[in-house]
Structure 1
């Protein structure tokens, strides 16, 4: 265990959010941190999308904005090639 220094307002808000979720503050923070991808994880997801689209014949796609890639990531993770191609066409 360690201590994280935050303002008392932030501490209180985190405690409220954790309580509402039925968790301790530590467990809540762990879930939040584990649910947010790192830049390296986002880069790896981008590359998986690009590789799959190339395999499907869509070499022209190079999504620059990660927000545009959300539908593509979801389709890739679901194994839904039709949704992936459709999302690529609208990006």
Structure 2
């Protein structure tokens, strides 16, 4: 992110605003500072693809070859775990 100081308004639901206020307060920040921090830290899809490729290349140096499809399998596992499926760790992805 650049040091641009121009500001804008983002419309969210009242519920989202209230939640953002709580999250920001827990970090000792304003809502604007909190949202800016989140935007700076969350990678874009392109950044994730780049990171994925760098990881694959680094692992290749150690003789570990990961297929591109394994990223999708990993993302599916995280989604299942986030959804509360604790049994997802025990499931065979090839089954």
Q: TM-score range by the shorter chain?
A: 0.5 to 0.7
Where do 4+ consecutive residues of structure 1 move more than 2 Å?
Answer: 63-68
Match of 1:12 among 3, 14, 18: 18
Q: Which runs of 5+ in 2 are unaligned?
A: 1-6, 77-95
What is the CA–CA distance in structure 2 between the aligned matches of 1:50 and 1:11, rounded to whole Å? Answer: 39
Q: What's the TM-score once normalised by structure 1's chain length?
A: 0.64
What is the CA–CA distance in structure 1 between the aligned matches of 2:59 and 2:23, rounded to whole Å? Answer: 39
Deviations 1:22-64 (A, max 9, x none): 00110001111112111011101110111112222223x2122
Supply the RMSD in Å over aligned alpha carbons.
1.7
What is the CA–CA distance in structure 1 between the aligned matches of 2:53 and 2:30, rounded to whole Å? Answer: 36
Q: Which has the higher contact order (CA 8 A, sep 6+)?
A: 1
Instruction: Specify the alignment match of 2:89 in structure 1.
Output: none
Q: What's the TM-score once normalised by structure 2's chain length?
A: 0.62
Q: Which runs of 5+ in 1 are unaligned?
A: 69-91
Instruction: Specify the alignment match of 1:44 in structure 2.
Output: 50
Aligned residues: 67
Tell me which protein shows more helix as a share of its residues.
1
What is the CA–CA distance in structure 2 between the aligned matches of 1:64 and 1:15, rounded to whole Å? Answer: 34
